[in-house]
Chains A and B, each alone.
Chain A
């Protein structure tokens, strides 16, 4: 059951250009990989949706990309400060897969360390825009890493259960390659628990709330190609790199990344998948 309580900041650690925000767990359940939490962003009206990156003993850790005032405020937290956290929310990945392959793109790698642990460290492919962002791969030892202009999709071997998270173009490409992939999507949301209807996306021809029906969608309910989730320029530029076909896992799950709603692209921007 989701619950909301103030959690104390245990650590704020740089991971490449990202920040790993570690919070004391309190009474909050870490949930299953791919689920997300609403984190109070100091000085902002609305909380930010972040998927759980790691669940070390007594802690909840989130990977944050400082792309707007809310995520910047989260990255600026100091140990000992407290923020309200609400969760776990959403559905998370199904873990009953036989040949898992995790695929992450940019900040979309956020939920994969927790997922990797749950699946006992399956093969993983991570794509980043450049070497600096690729430093975040340190959170997933053993992962194969590609950077622009290589695309993760080039490395996906058929026959695996793909679990992926990343920018929309990457997810659409994976969906085309691996019809059974579990893909975690993202959309601007105010509440995270079905109240605001802000994160509605087109699923199976109808607008449904991603926070209630997702963020992980199964093949029969992928989003329409015209859907524009909240993906940053940076994320869109990263993680679309192909991977060497070295992995013996099926499709990858995607999950909610640490984006900031204010960095959402306008649908007319053209940098999202058409």
Chain B
């Protein structure tokens, strides 16, 4: 199943792209409207890019009144990304969402200052107010993402979204100063992929929860890698910026691939035991 990574597609501006997906994940919604960070917000790096958008969104009330009805008309299952700056923010939004394929809790945006409270605490508070499937989106910047994954699983998360961007910085070669207005931004694209694979691999082994894998996916071969590591779904992010038709292309590249077999092979007991042989 192919999704978009939250914040990497506006389904109302590009509905044809959204309809290529199996589900559309909204940009993160916060209780109050946010204009986002100062320009410049984008920097290209050697094998990736940085963004410092800063959770720009219309706020919960306007999202519910204006955006959500329009999104429903697309006919694509909706995942709603929920953000906030304290546990109550997340829970309040989850409590008013009554119709979505899933809720993704953005517990890991690198572009806002406010540090959310513990991931498990937020998941537990949301679990208490919604029966909808809850996916916790985590960052590989945490020193022990497996521990976080186990904690959110115990708190009632139905799945994991792995991974969010990693904080990075790019310099202007002429001025030697940061390119981004906010100095740092979230690293995405091909350079994030090995980090994401490691997170998916470890968190799947630890929790066996359904995982949406993301981080540098740009081809069918990338999808195979994520599935082999334990991802049940995958999401496209940065690749959508350069190729709005990436979803169609990747489906074509996967047409002859049996992802179930990939997963089964990668997780067959003898394969796991003979890890070194696989690497050879």
Stretch at the interface among A97-105, A111-119, A193-201, A214-222: A193-201
Majority-rule SS of B interface residues: loop
Determine the chain B residues whose CB is within 8 A of the CB of A188 once the complex forms.
39-43
* A263 to B173 alpha-carbon distance, docked (Å): 8
Residues of B233-255 at the interface with A, using a CB-CB cut-off of 8 Å, are: 238, 240-245
B residues with CB within 8 A of A: 7-10, 13-14, 17, 27, 35-36, 38-45, 47-49, 51, 53, 56, 172-175, 177-179, 181, 189-190, 238, 240-245
Indicate which residue in A70, A195, A206, A268 contacts B241 across the interface (CB closer than 8 Å).
A195
Beta-carbon contact of A267 and B41 below 8 Å: no
Interface stretch (choices A38-46, A74-82, A238-246): A38-46
In the assembled complex, the CB of B213 is this many whole angstroms from the nearest CB of chain A, namely 20
Nearest residue in A to B216 (C-beta to C-beta)? A45
Tell me, rounded to whole Å, the shortest Cβ–Cβ distance linking B226 to chain A. 19
A268 to B180, CA, bound (A): 11
B10's nearest neighbour on chain A, judged by CB, is A194
Known: A44-B44, A193-B13. 9 other contacts (CB 8 A): A188-B39, A191-B242, A195-B8, A195-B9, A195-B13, A262-B44, A266-B175, A267-B40, A269-B175
- Contact for B51 among A47, A196, A206, A229, CB less than 8 A: A196
Q: Is the CB of B175 within 8 A of A45?
A: no
A-B contacts counted at CB < 8 A amount to 128
Given the interface pairs A200-B41, A207-B36, the reply to whether A265 lies near B243 with Cβ below 8 Å is: no
Q: Report chain B residues within 8 Å CB of A86.
A: 244
Question: Which residue of B13, B48, B174, B190 is within 8 Å of A194 (Cβ)?
Answer: B13
Check A196 against B244 for contact (C-beta < 8 Å).
Answer: no
Q: A188-B43, A190-B51, A267-B181 are in contact. Are A45 and B238 (CB under 8 A)?
A: yes
**Which chain B positions have C-beta within 8 A of A189?**
42
Q: Cβ of A230 < 8 Å from any Cβ of B?
A: yes
30 A-B pairs in the complex with CB atoms less than 8 angstroms apart: A45-B44, A45-B189, A46-B44, A47-B241, A86-B244, A187-B40, A188-B41, A188-B42, A191-B242, A194-B10, A194-B14, A195-B8, A195-B9, A195-B240, A197-B51, A197-B56, A198-B41, A198-B53, A199-B41, A200-B53, A206-B35, A207-B36, A228-B39, A262-B43, A262-B172, A263-B174, A265-B175, A267-B38, A267-B181, A268-B177
